[in-house]
Amino acid sequence: DADVTQTPRNRITKTGKRIMLECSQTKGHDRMYWYRQDPGLGLRLIYYSFDVKDINKGEISDGYSVSRQAQAKFSLSLESAIPNQTALYFCATSGGQGTTYEQYFGPGTRLTVT
């Protein structure tokens, strides 16, 4: 079974709708992240959480919110979706400071806002 799972894998929604993307992990990591990928821009950090009570904005948090429901679950919400939020969204996890550098990514959610 995958260590980091994301649901849904694909979603088409309309402008103005609220949508939630969910992420679960079985790696036992405290740290979780949400990124979006756009062509020519790589991956950009939306929000990150270093533990259940710690939520931080990334470089492109406007229009997004997150909830860390448990150590293993981190969800991303678009309160009122707009077309320029059409992108690939990835959840990732990592260990704490002093552990290895790597982040482990989920398979992604392809979101289209029409």
Partner 1 sequence: DQQVKQNSPSLSVQEGRISILNCDYTNSMFDYFLWYKKYPAEGPTFLISISSIKDKNEDGRFTVFLNKSAKHLSLHIVPSQPGDSAVYFCAAGSTDSWGKLQFGAGTQVVVTP
- Interface with partner 1 (CB under 8 A): 4, 31, 33, 35, 40-45, 48, 50, 58, 90, 92, 94, 96-98, 100-108
Q: Which is nearer to partner 1, 64 or 90 (CB)?
A: 90
Nearest-approach distance from CB 70 to partner 1, in angstroms: 19
- The answer to whether 108 touches 8, Cβ cutoff 8 Å, is no
Nearest-approach distance from CB 84 to partner 1, in angstroms: 18
Nearest-approach distance from CB 15 to partner 1, in angstroms: 26
- The answer to whether 32 touches 91, Cβ cutoff 8 Å, is yes
- Contacts of residue 36, Cβ cutoff 8 Å, sequence gap at least 6: 43, 44, 46, 60, 85, 87, 88, 89, 90
Q: Which is nearer to partner 1, 75 or 94 (CB)?
A: 94
Nearest-approach distance from CB 105 to partner 1, in angstroms: 3
Q: Which is nearer to partner 1, 28 or 107 (CB)?
A: 107
Q: Which is nearer to partner 1, 85 or 93 (CB)?
A: 93
Q: How far apart are the C-alpha atoms of 97 and 100, rounded to whole Å?
A: 8
